[in-house]
């Protein structure tokens, strides 16, 4: 099977079986999504969604968040991992958006990564979810699933390497959606330790499944 055929097989499968694929983070606007994505690092979306309502009630916009203090914000996110850093990042992010971007969440990767707590992965999430830009955020699920399915070589050792290969091979208009396909497949089917291979419709082309059944 050629790489082109492999990608077509995977895309056809997801278009049929997961026609609606979107983030599981709860948000109403770019500000809320950015806060949620910053909090989601090394934390489940479920936990983030339990935490953000109190944040957004207290700080309904980026200006109000920019004016808070560490001691006021910290208690609202204490159930989230890396609370100290994330508290500092959220305040710093809000302050920079107010001072440098006229209180508007920027919509380019280059601008977003200037904000505290925002790396390339977060910037790709924001731009693809809010604006449907053809950016691929590579988290642990995307990294694992794309390798198991043979969408990227096993030698692709960094998230950036995987990102570049996926973007090169997935049709541009589907990239923002493919990001969610791979994440959701990794989250619920292609689990890290005990993948549910018997439930997966991609066994036919899965390198991991083939190796597991030839050992």
**CATH architecture observed for domain 3-21+136-212:** Orthogonal Bundle (1.10)
**CATH architecture observed for domain 30-131:** Orthogonal Bundle (1.10)
Number of helices (H), then strands (E), belonging to the chain: the values are 12, 0
Q: What is the pLDDT of residue 19?
A: 93
Q: What is the pLDDT of residue 25?
A: 96
Q: What is the pLDDT of residue 121?
A: 94
Query: Quick one: how far is CA 17 from the chain centroid?
Result: 20
pLDDT of the chain along its 215 residues, tens only?
899 999 999 999 999 999 999 999 999 999 999 999 999 988 999 999 999 999 999 999 999 999 999 999 999 999 999 999 999 999 999 999 999 999 999 999 999 999 999 999 999 999 999 999 999 999 999 999 999 999 999 999 999 999 999 999 999 999 999 999 999 999 999 999 999 999 999 999 999 998 887 76
Catalytic residue among 139, 164, 177, 212: 139
Q: What is the pLDDT of residue 40?
A: 94
Tokens 């302050």 locate to 95
Q: What is the pLDDT of residue 148?
A: 96
Catalytic residue among 12, 71, 88, 121: 121
| Catalytic site includes residue 121 | yes
What are the extents of the domains in the chain? 3-21+136-212, 30-131
DSSP string over 46-95: HHHHHHHHHHHHH--SHHHHHT--HHHHGGGGTTSSSHHHHHHHHHHHHH
Tokens of 110: 């280059």
Of 179, 33, 173, 9, nearest in space to 106 by CA:
33
Q: Are 33 and 45 in contact (CB under 8 A)?
A: no
């Amino acid at each position: 099977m050629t790489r082109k055929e492999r990608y077509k097989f995977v895309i056809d499968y997801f278009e049929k079986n997961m026609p609606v694929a979107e983030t599981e983070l709860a948000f109403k606007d770019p500000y809320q999504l950015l806060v949620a994505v910053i909090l989601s690092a090394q934390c489940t979306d479920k936990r983030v969604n339990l935490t953000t309502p109190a944040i957004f009630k207290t700080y309904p916009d980026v200006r109000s968040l920019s004016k808070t203090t560490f001691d006021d914000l910290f208690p609202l996110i204490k159930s989230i991992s890396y609370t100290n850093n994330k508290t500092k990042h959220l305040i710093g992010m809000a302050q920079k958006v107010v001072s440098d971007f006229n209180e508007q969440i920027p919509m380019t990767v280059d601008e977003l990564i200037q904000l505290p707590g925002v790396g390339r992965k977060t910037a790709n999430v924001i731009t693809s979810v809010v604006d449907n830009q053809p950016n691929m955020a590579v988290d642990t699920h995307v990294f694992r699933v794309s390798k198991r399915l043979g969408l990227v070589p096993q030698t692709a050792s960094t998230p950036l390497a995987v990102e570049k290969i996926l973007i090169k091979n997935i049709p541009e208009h589907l990239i923002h959606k493919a990001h969610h396909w791979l994440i959701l497949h990794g989250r619920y089917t292609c689990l890290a330790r005990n993948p549910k291979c018997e439930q997966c419709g991609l066994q036919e082309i899965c390198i991991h499944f083939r190796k597991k059944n030839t050992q």
